[in-house]
Structures are given as structure tokens and as C-alpha cells.
């Protein structure tokens, strides 16, 4: 049997489909010379908002900067508590810390891997009782592309008067009951890092918001707080713009995006069928964007064995994430500052020993998926 090598993320199949369009779009930017704030940025912003089903989109330099601009716009800083899951990428927690605020880590659900609502409510009450920090914001993460429980998060944020930010860096294209991510929270941060569901050829990101005023504020913040005319600085901002060339690339990729989301869901269904009950597989919920396909194994020893089996079979995999954020040296101080006697983050700690992400992209064939699943099962 001749078998094609399997990639963890697709970097070539998609490119081959749009090569001519990419050349034309990039050539147009080269000819115009408008490398910053060119018309492609505005065109992309309009198309992103339309894709999300309404509201406004603001292109920015990365997913991390999208999170930062959204928090700067709310004036989040010293003395503020920002609640976020302990099981996520470091960027989610880094941003409040950079702004002088304190991340308060929340445990996650063992099946969805997203923020645990009951634990969140408990920690909001604990922060209020301690009285050192002011609860200001919740950052929900749609981990691996699975939308968090946004209706419930919204109700909780409203009840406590908190700003609700969606870190949808892994989940653009996802929805709940047909209403896309981008429309659920007060602001939604997207990343166009190359391996995300919609990726560019470098760094990039965007903010989605239902508010025209907020969109204008985000545009000011991404350009050093300028407004009311060039070199008129109204507020402290940053250099957080999206390059015109990256916008041009994203415009080509956006044309394939709907179909790619369907093909990711198809690959996830093939995996679930092939893996059966041999491991904990992700639930096939409609609206999952399948940024990653992540299984859960019973313990660290089994995971190590499966990793070795896949390595031997030449199949790539990833471990997102090997350490919960509260165990990272960079967050030790913040963790204890947030809550003096924080309850354990048991599920987040367990998952770091158990999860493993298998190849996931729209260009996988069923034969490739079956080959990966067979290698996983053989190593159990």
C-alpha cells in the first residue's frame, strides 16, 4: 500500500487550490504600495462581519493583540480580576497580566474542555468575598473549536455586570444554533495564525463586536490611540494593525472557508466512527469548528504509549496543553494574588496528562483518518 504522509495541519493542499488567486491579490497589493491600511483590510473586515452574521470587524495584528485591544477598550487594569480557564493557550492569561490586571484561573469541563460554569460562579463569589480585586471580565475560550456555553456565560456576565470576551482564536466559523461566534459575547477575538481554522501566512487577527462605537475605538487603539485626525493622540494605544498583504491572503482563503468547515466536521465524524469507544472522543455537536481534534486517554502512561506508537508510525500529533496555566512559572504570582486560598483546578490538571490532538484539517481523506485511528488503537 502506498500511503501519503499525514500532516497535523494542512499547509499545502489549500494553497494549491487558490494559488492563482493568491498571486493576483498579492500582486495588486505590491502594485498599489498600500502595505498598511490598504483597501483589502476594509474589504476583509466587511466580509468577516458578514460571515459572522452581522456586527463589525476590525483587523488587528494577532489574536493576542485582539484580546489586548478589547481589554484596553474597557479600561481593564490594576485591581481588576479577569476570570478565564486554566486550560487554554498562554495568550488568554498573558493579556490581563500585561495590562496590570489579575487572571483568576477557573476549572474546565472534562468533556467539552471549556470553562466550568459552576466553578466560575464559585470563584467570582470568592473574589468578591476576599475584596482585594474587582471582578471585571470573563474570557470564555472555545477550546479546540468547540463553542463554550455562551448563553449561560452571557447570563452570568449580566448577573455580575462583567465584560464578556470570547477568545475564539481556535474556533472561527463555529456557531451555537446557527448563530456564529462573533455574535455571542461583547467582543470576540480571532487569530489568523497559520494553523487556525482561518489562517494567514504570518500573524494576524481580528475583533468582532456588535457595537459601531466599540469598532471605532478598536480602530483607534490599533493605531496608537489616534483619532480625530492623524497625529492627534486621544488615548494610550498600540501598534496593532493587520498587514494589507495578510488581508489579501485571507480574502482568498475566505472563499473556501464554508466548505472547509464542512470538511473538518466530516473528518471529525470519521475519527469518531473509527475510534469508537476505545478512547474519550469529542462530542459531534453541530457548530463545532474543529480547530483541533482532541482525544482524552485514561492516564499519562497510556498517552505516552500512544505518542510512541504514533511516532513509530510516522503520524504527527500535538499535546495542547501539557501544563495548566497556574503551574506555569510565569503565572505563579498571579495565581496566588488572585485568590489567597484558591480551590484546586483538578480537571485542568488531569487533562494536561490525558489529552492528545490528532491531525485535523479539511484535506484529510477517510483512509488517512482510519490509519491514524488504527495506530491509536494499536498503541492503547
Q: Which residues are catalytic?
A: 196
Residue 325: in which H helix or E strand, if any? none
* Choice from 10, 49, 57, 64 touching ligand PLP (CB under 6 A): 64
Q: Which is nearer to ligand PLP, 62 or 368 (CB)?
A: 62
Binding to ligand PLP by residue 63, rule CB under 6 A? yes
Minimum distance from residue 320 beta carbon to ligand PLP (Å) = 8
- Cβ neighbours of residue 307 under 8 Å, at least 6 residues apart? 317, 319, 356
Report whether 69 contacts 221 (CB < 8 A): yes
Other beta carbons within 10 Å of 284: 13
| DSSP secondary structure string for all residues of 77-146 | -TTEEEEEESSS-HHHHHHHHHTT-EEEEE-B-TTT-SBPHHHHHHHHHHHHHH-SSEEEEEEEE-GGGP
Binding to ligand PLP by residue 193, rule CB under 6 A? yes
What span, in angstroms and rounded, lies between the C-alpha atoms of 313 and 358?
Answer: 13
- Binding residues for ligand PLP, total number by CB under 6 A: 15
Binding to ligand PLP by residue 197, rule CB under 6 A? no
* Choice from 38, 86, 88, 253 touching ligand PLP (CB under 6 A): 88
What span, in angstroms and rounded, lies between the C-alpha atoms of 338 and 278?
Answer: 39
Minimum distance from residue 95 beta carbon to ligand PLP (Å) = 9
Binding to ligand PLP by residue 114, rule CB under 6 A? no
What span, in angstroms and rounded, lies between the C-alpha atoms of 110 and 130?
Answer: 28
Q: Which is nearer to ligand PLP, 170 or 357 (CB)?
A: 170
* Choice from 96, 205, 210, 237 touching ligand PLP (CB under 6 A): 205
From the list 12-20, 89-97, 156-164, 209-217, the region that binds ligand PLP by CB under 6 A is 89-97
Residues in contact with ligand PLP by CB under 6 A are: 62-64, 88-89, 91-92, 141, 167, 169-170, 191, 193, 203, 205
Amino acid at each position: 500500500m502506498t500511503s501519503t504522509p499525514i500532516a497535523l495541519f494542512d499547509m499545502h493542499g489549500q494553497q494549491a487550490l487558490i494559488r492563482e488567486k493568491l498571486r493576483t491579490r498579492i500582486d495588486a497589493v505590491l502594485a498599489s504600495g498600500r502595505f498598511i491600511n490598504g483597501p483589502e483590510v476594509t474589504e476583509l473586515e466587511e466580509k468577516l462581519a458578514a460571515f459572522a452574521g452581522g456586527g463589525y470587524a476590525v483587523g488587528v495584528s494577532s489574536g493576542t493583540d485582539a484580546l489586548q485591544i478589547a481589554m484596553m477598550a474597557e479600561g481593564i487594569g490594576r485591581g481588576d480580576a479577569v476570570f478565564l480557564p486554566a486550560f487554554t493557550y498562554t495568550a488568554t492569561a498573558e493579556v490581563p497580566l500585561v495590562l496590570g490586571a489579575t487572571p483568576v484561573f477557573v476549572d474546565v469541563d472534562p468533556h467539552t474542555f471549556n470553562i466550568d460554569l459552576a466553578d466560575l460562579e464559585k470563584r467570582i463569589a470568592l473574589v468578591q468575598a476576599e475584596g482585594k480585586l474587582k471582578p471585571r471580565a470573563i474570557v470564555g475560550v472555545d477550546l479546540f473549536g468547540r463553542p463554550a456555553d455562551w448563553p449561560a456565560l452571557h447570563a452570568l456576565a449580566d448577573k455580575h455586570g462583567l465584560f464578556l470576551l470570547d477568545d475564539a482564536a481556535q474556533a472561527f466559523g463555529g456557531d451555537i444554533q446557527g448563530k456564529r461566534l462573533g455574535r455571542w459575547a461583547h467582543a470576540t477575538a480571532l487569530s489568523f495564525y497559520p494553523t487556525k481554522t482561518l489562517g494567514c501566512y504570518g500573524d494576524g487577527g481580528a475583533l468582532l463586536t456588535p457595537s459601531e462605537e466599540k469598532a471605532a475605538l478598536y480602530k483607534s487603539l490599533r493605531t496608537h490611540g489616534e483619532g480625530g485626525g492623524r497625529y492627534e493622540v486621544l488615548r494610550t494605544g498600540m501598534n496593532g494593525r493587520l498587514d494589507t498583504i495578510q488581508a489579501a491572503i485571507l480574502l482568498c482563503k475566505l472563499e473556501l472557508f464554508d466548505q472547509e468547515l464542512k470538511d473538518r466536521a466530516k473528518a471529525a465524524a470519521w475519527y469518531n466512527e473509527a475510534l469508537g469507544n476505545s478512547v474519550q472522543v469529542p462530542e459531534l455537536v453541530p457548530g463545532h469548528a474543529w480547530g483541533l481534534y482532541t482525544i482524552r486517554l485514561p492516564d499519562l502512561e497510556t498517552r505516552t504509549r500512544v505518542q510512541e506508537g504514533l511516532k513509530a508510525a510516522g503520524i504527527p500529533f500535538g499535546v495542547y496543553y501539557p501544563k495548566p496555566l497556574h503551574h506555569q512559572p510565569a503565572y505563579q504570582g498571579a495565581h496566588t494574588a488572585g485568590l489567597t486560598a484558591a480551590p484546586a483546578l483538578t480537571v485542568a490538571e488531569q487533562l494536561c496528562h490525558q489529552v492528545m490532538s490528532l491531525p485535523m484539517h479539511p484535506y484529510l481523506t477517510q483512509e488517512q483518518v482510519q490509519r491514524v485511528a488504527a495506530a491509536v488503537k494499536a498503541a492503547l
